[in-house]
A = this chain, B = another copy of it.
C-alpha cells in the first residue's frame, strides 16, 4: 500500500468521507488512490477557492471535517480566502496540500513555493509528512486537530514521493476531546449578574446559535429580562418559526453601539468580545459599552449548551418555549427592489432550508423578511472575504441532501468563485442561487462615503461600478450548466424563485435591482 492509499483509508476511518479537490501533477497518486477507497467521495472543483469554501460549508452543516486537495503553494494560495472564512467560522477542515517530492525540493523548480508560510496564515495545525510510513498517522492527527473544539483548519503537506512510495499503513482514528464545561463559579457569577437587576446582554456565537443552546438562552432572557444578540456574522444560526429570535449585532459600529448602550453586563456565550468590522477615522473599534462588565460564560470551543442549561437552572428559567408561529411577508408585486426581493424570499423560503447569505447590502432586508419563515439555518460570511457564498452552498448541499440550499448572493461577490456553479451542476446539488444584481460594489459606495472620502470623482467611482459592461448572470450560469432565469419585477422574481426551489438540482435566478444606498 502506498502512502496515498494509507492516507485516504485513514481519513475515511476517521470519519472524513468527502474530498473537495482541485488536483495537479503532484497529487496524481492521491487521485489514483481514490479508486482504492470507494468510501471517499471525490468532488471536483474548478478553482481551489471553491474547494475550500465547500469544505467550510460541509463542516458548518455536519460539524465534521471534509478534506480539500490542493496543488502546492499556488493552489493553497487560491484557497486561502475561504480558508480564512473557515478559520473565522471555527470550521473543521483537513487541507491536504501536495508538494514536490522530497528529493525535488532543493531544485527550486518553477512551482516551488513557501507552502508552510501560506498554510500557517490560516491553519491551527500544520504538518509536513516526510515518510510514507508516517503519513497515515499524520492524517489521523490532522483530523483530530481539525475537529477538536471549536474546530480549525489542519493542513497536511504531502510530498509527491510520500504519496507514491510503498510502506503506507492505515492508522487508527485519534480521539477528539470534548468541549470544556463552564466552571461552576463562572455560571454562578453570571447568574448573580442576571439576578441583580442590572441591564444584561447575552451575546451568542458559535454553537450557542443552535438549539438547544438557543432555547436555553431564550428562556433565560424571558425569565431575567436580559437581552439577546447574535454575533454579527455567525457560522450557522438556527432561526425561523418555533426558534428563539435572536437579532444580530449590527455590522455598523454606531448601530451596534446603540444596541449595546446601557448594558452593565455583557455575557459572551461562544462569541468574542464585540469589535467593529473596520476602523474609521475618529471612531473606536472596541464596542464594549463603557463601564460594562464582560463575562465569558463559554469561550470558543467550550460547552455552550451545558453552560446555558446550567445558567437557566440557576436563574430559574424553566418555562417552556414561546410560541413562534410561521409569519411570512405577503408575496410582493411591483418593482423589484431589495425590499420586494427580500419579501419574496421570506414568502417562499422552503421549510428546513439552508440559507447561505452573501447578499451583502441586501442582507439586512433578507434577515428581516425571513425571521418568521419556517425553521431554517442561516450561514453568514464569517471572515469578510467575499467569494464564499457559492462554494459554501456546494458544501452545504453535499452535507445536507434533501434540504434546499438557498444562496443569496451579491453580484460583486459572485464573480470571485463563480465556477462553483459548475460543481453544483455536475453533482446535481439542490442549490437555488439568487444573484442580487445592482451593478455595483454597493457596500463600497457606502464605505467610500463612510471613510470620509466623500468628494470622490470619476476615477474613484469607476472602481466601484460593475455596470459597464453589465454582467449577465443568466448567460454565466448557463455556460456552466446551471439553468437560469432573470427577473425584473417582483412578480417575476417570486414566480422564478418558487419554481426554482421546487425543482431538484441547481437553478439560478438573477434579480436585477436598482443600485441601492442601503447598508447591511
Contact = CB atoms under 8 A, between A and B. Distances in A.
Nearest to A469: B481
B42 A275 contact: no
A78 B79 CA distance: 8
A514 to B, nearest CB: 20
A478 interface: yes
Nearest to A120: B117
Nearest to A26: B278
Interface in A433-470: 443-444, 447-448, 450-453, 455-460, 462-466, 468-470
A463 B21 contact: yes
Interface stretch (A28-36, A344-352, A495-503): A28-36
A84 B412 CA distance: 25
Given A42-B462, A117-B121, A49 B78 contact: yes
A28 B461 CA distance: 10
A79 to B, nearest CB: 8
Total copies of the chain: 2
A74 B417 CA distance: 13
Contact of A104 (B31, B120, B121, B276): B276
Interface stretch (A108-116, A211-219, A330-338): A108-116
A444 B74 CA distance: 17
Interface stretch (A137-145, A196-204, A418-426): A418-426
B462 A472 contact: no
Interface in A267-284: 272, 275-279, 281
Interface string A8-37: 000000000000010111101101101100
A275 B32 contact: no
A460 B25 contact: no
Nearest to A165: B281
A448 B23 CA distance: 11
Given A29-B451, A279-B104, A419-B415, A444 B24 contact: yes
A389 interface: no
A103 interface: yes
A81 interface: yes
Interface stretch (A241-249, A307-315, A379-387): A379-387
Interface string A118-144: 101110000000000000000000000
Contacts of A459: 34-35, 38, 40, 42
Interface string A148-173: 00000000000011001000000000
Interface residues of A, number: 102
A254 interface: no
Nearest to A474: B479
A419 B416 CA distance: 8
A23 B114 CA distance: 26
A472 B479 contact: yes
A96 to B, nearest CB: 13
Contacts of A38: 459
Nearest to A107: B275
A418 B419 contact: yes
A453 B416 contact: no
Given A110-B233, A121-B118, A103 B279 contact: yes
Interface of A: 21, 23-26, 28-29, 31-32, 34-35, 38, 40, 42, 44, 46-47, 49, 73-75, 77-78, 80-81, 84-85, 88, 100-101, 103-104, 107-111, 113-114, 117-118, 120-122, 160-161, 164, 233, 272, 275-279, 281, 285-286, 382-385, 387, 412, 415-416, 418-419, 422, 425-426, 443-444, 447-448, 450-453, 455-460, 462-466, 468-476, 478-481
Given A38-B459, A100-B278, 5 more contacts: A24-B444, A31-B464, A80-B80, A117-B120, A472-B479
